[in-house]
Amino acid sequence: MKTSDIAYHVDGARLVGYLAVDEHKAGRRPGILVAHEGFGLSEHAKGAARRLAEAGYVAFALDYHGGGKPLTDMGEVMSRIQAWMANPDGSLARARAALTVLTTQAETDPTRIAAIGYCYGGTMMLDLARSGEDLRAVVGFHSALATVRPAAPGAVRSKVLVQIGAEDPVIPAEQRLAFEEEMTAAGADWRMIVYSGCGHSFTNPNGNPTRTPGFFYHEVTDRRSWRAMTDLLDEALM
């Protein structure tokens, strides 16, 4: 396993992502962009990148805050995310710059690219799909589904999978319904899995540093959601 930190720049910000690739595997292979949770690039997203590399992909965990490290101030996190939710241009620019890093790696087959994301990172990846980016698949884990820029008919080129906790206070049932209606109107190949007994951050044992109600790790759903993701990636990329 080869891992490395890669710096790139967007709008004057120095971002530092994390690349994972099996250096013993020959030839080009599909690439997966991994987008971290709201607090920033941590071991959670890096671990996902390594697991994907072990499965035969080139994985690049992007950094959308900067410096390659998580933030510690919840107010700062929410200020940034709320600004991007109101106008996703900035987050899309960061995502596209990271895509360029991924697709230009010597090991990456740039014709077979997918993206996954957690929490706001998943929302970013969904916005990439809505924008018509040439991705084979997009997977969101406990990702907010609302958008100020709904997908236009025919715009979504990716297969889309969103995985949501039934008790997630961030993503109520009406938001799920609105997403269904949006994706159906866009003509997208989409699917949604709603898991009982879990809320937000169900993939991350350390995903609730502020002890927010409704945010908790759920081991069974973590396993099930990863398996559902790999099934889609196999379908879309292999």
Determine the Cα–Cα distance for residues 119 and 200; give it in Å rounded to an integer.
8
Q: Tell me, what's the pLDDT at 28?
A: 97
Q: Which residue has the tokens 């990863």?
A: 226
Per-residue pLDDT tens digits for 74-107: 999 999 999 999 999 999 999 999 999 999 999 9
pLDDT at 211 over 90: no
- Alpha-carbon distance 77 to 217, whole Å? 20
Specify the amino acid at residue 116. Answer: I
The DSSP secondary-structure symbol of 112 reads E
Q: What is the per-residue pLDDT across 16-68, written as a single tens digit (0 to 9) for each?
A: 999 999 998 889 999 999 999 999 999 999 999 999 999 999 999 999 999 99
**What is the distance between the alpha carbons of residues 232 and 120, in angstroms, rounded to a whole number?**
21
Q: Indicate the DSSP class of residue 56.
A: T
Instruction: Report in angstroms the alpha-carbon separations of 86 from 79, 147, 149, 215.
Output: 11, 8, 9, 23
Cα of 208 vs its chain's centroid, Å: 18
Q: Domains of the chain (ranges plus CATH)? A: 2-237 (3.40.50.1820)
Measured distance CA(205)–CA(198) in Å, rounded: 13
Is residue 209 very low, low, confident or very high in pLDDT (cuts 50, 70, 90)? Answer: confident
* Residue type (1 letter), 51: R
pLDDT (tens digit per residue) in 157-203: 999 999 999 999 999 999 999 999 999 999 999 999 999 999 999 99
Unique residue bearing structure tokens 């969103």: 162
Residue 205's pLDDT band (cuts 50, 70, 90): very high
Q: What is the pLDDT of residue 66?
A: 97
In 3-state terms, what secondary structure has residue 108? strand
Neighbours of 174 (CB within 10 A): 9
Question: What is the rounded radius of gyration, in angstroms, for the C-alpha atoms of the chain?
Answer: 16
Pair 136, 237: CB distance under 8 Å: yes
DSSP 182-216: HHHHHT-EEEEEEETT--BTTT-TT--TT--TTB-
Output the average pLDDT for the chain: 97
Mark 222-235 as b/e (b = at least 16 C-beta within 10 Å): bebbbebbeebbee
User: Where does residue 188 rank: exposed (0-12), middle (13-18), buried (19+ CB within 10 A)?
Assistant: buried
pTM of the model: 0.97
